[in-house]
Amino acid sequence: MFFNRLSRIVQAGCKFSSAIKCHRPCAIPAPRNLCHAASLNGPLFQISDDRIQKYLERLRLEYYALKVQEQRTKKDVQRMLQLSNVVEMYEQRRIIVDNLSSLKELKDDKDDEMVQLLKEEREAYGSILFRLDNEILDSILSMDDEEDYGSLIMEVTAGVGGQEAMLFARELFDMYCGYVEYKGWEVETLQSEDTDIGGTRHATTIITGPDAYRYLKHEGGVHRVQRIPATEKSGRIHTSTVTVAIIPRPDDFQVDLKEKDLKIETKRASGAGGQHVNTTDSAVRIVHMPTGIAVECQTERSQQKNREIAKQKLMAKLTQIELEARFSSTQALKKSQVGQSLRNEKIRTYNYNQDRITDHRIEGGTAHNLKGFLEGGEQLDDMIEKLRRSQRRKQLMDIINRECEQ
């Protein structure tokens, strides 16, 4: 009877080890020693903790409740995919824990060979359990329980620093366009107010793609740059700022701009520009009658082009107003992100003299190689991933604490 029972335990261990081998290729990131990374100025997360177990059990019940639904929305399917790996690993972990409990029942055996065999089994299960706990922790830290959106509006605006701030606003705007390309998302520019020396006063874009909002929401805030401007003759380091605002855009969102609601006026362009400025009615002013919002454009020589640009500006303003009306917290969100664009409100500093990028919201948020970072590729992605995990740890602590209160 003893040998039959031991044989069943060993067979169960073999089956589970095979299951782990089959499971590992399923897009699970390599462990990053997250038991240490998960500390939040306090004790480490332990998967064996009753609070974590309660949270994991809630995820398991949520997954199976979605699985038995006859009709599922797109959001339900996305949530199931998000939960599937965690639930599968959690159930495998339960099998391991049960097997370890069964081995403990045999601990009083006096046979040296059996004692050695039991020791090896415990070590094997312990090794699998340790690896599995890291992978479960990695997965739940990668999850984001906040609502996701199909697209977002990103606003990049020059802050303190005059022309130097506008030049850096352009560099940040180009960085995010590079990041959109790196992630395989799509971008549509609604509005861009550029300067004649290559800077940008303000740019508004719509970015669309899987998880785009979940990644880019961490970029909202004041970005500070420290460097010697090209126009600086004395070699002094200047500090300038650029603000980035991220506004979620629901899948069903659409602004209908009707021609009958528009009052379009033309006039002669003003300002520098030679004889053409004084002789052609190329400047365009559009008033949106229902809201009273007015926009102007005189940057192009062609009246038709100025009309198109003015419409884009109007669309951007209407889009922003509509989204802020739909999300009562959007205005507060934007204000919390951009503040007053002051230098001391920064979330990230770009120091050219030291070739250093420092994100002030996370530990270890320092990177080097500014040129590579501003390309918007892997370096920026790594920084955003650190921010996501830091935020997720805080979310997880809040969730766990709420679980304990129930």
398 and 263 co-located in one domain: no
Against a cut of 0.75, is the pTM above it?
Answer: no
Q: Does residue 23 fall inside a structural domain?
A: no
Q: Does residue 32 fall inside a structural domain?
A: no
Q: Does residue 39 fall inside a structural domain?
A: no
Distance, CA of 137 to CA of 163 (rounded, Å): 46
Q: Does residue 1 fall inside a structural domain?
A: no
What pLDDT does 274 receive? 47
Distance, CA of 165 to CA of 224 (rounded, Å): 9
65 and 133 co-located in one domain: yes
What pLDDT does 28 receive? 31
What pLDDT does 185 receive? 96
Q: How many angstroms from the chain centroid is the CA of residue 355?
A: 25
373 and 242 co-located in one domain: yes
82 and 65 co-located in one domain: yes
Query: Is there a contact between 156 and 172 (Cβ–Cβ < 8 Å)?
Result: yes
Query: Is there a contact between 334 and 247 (Cβ–Cβ < 8 Å)?
Result: yes
Q: Does residue 305 fall inside a structural domain?
A: yes
233 and 346 co-located in one domain: yes
Query: Is there a contact between 246 and 327 (Cβ–Cβ < 8 Å)?
Result: no
DSSP structure string for 355-391: TEEEETTSTT-EEE-HHHHTTTSHHHHHHHHHHHHHH
What pLDDT does 239 receive? 93
244 and 380 co-located in one domain: yes
What pLDDT does 93 receive? 92
CATH code for position 191: 3.30.70.1660
Q: Which residue has the tokens 């090896």?
A: 120
199 and 90 co-located in one domain: no
Query: Is there a contact between 190 and 315 (Cβ–Cβ < 8 Å)?
Result: yes
What pLDDT does 5 receive? 43
How does DSSP classify residue 18?
Answer: H
70 and 164 co-located in one domain: no
60 and 121 co-located in one domain: yes
Q: Is 191 helix (H, G, I), strand (E, B) or coil?
A: strand
Q: Does residue 197 fall inside a structural domain?
A: yes
Range(s) of the domain holding residue 95: 50-143
247 and 358 co-located in one domain: yes
241 and 346 co-located in one domain: yes
Among residues 89, 109, 143, the one where a domain terminates is: 143
Among residues 292, 327, 362, the one where a domain terminates is: 327
The three-state DSSP-derived secondary structure of 221-250 is EEEEEEECCCCCCCCCCEEEEEEEEEEEEC
Please tell me the total count of domains within the chain: 3
| 10-residue mean pLDDT series, the chain (406 residues) | 44 43 35 36 63 87 91 86 90 90 71 80 88 85 70 90 93 96 92 88 90 91 91 84 87 77 82 49 87 83 83 78 64 51 73 95 91 95 90 77 63
Among residues 84, 109, 143, the one where a domain terminates is: 143
DSSP structure string for 287-318: EETTTTEEEEE-SSS-HHHHHHHHHHHHHHHH
Residue 28, token pair as written in the block: 């699970």
Q: Does residue 20 fall inside a structural domain?
A: no
Q: Does residue 244 fall inside a structural domain?
A: yes
61 and 164 co-located in one domain: no
CATH code for position 273: 3.30.160.20
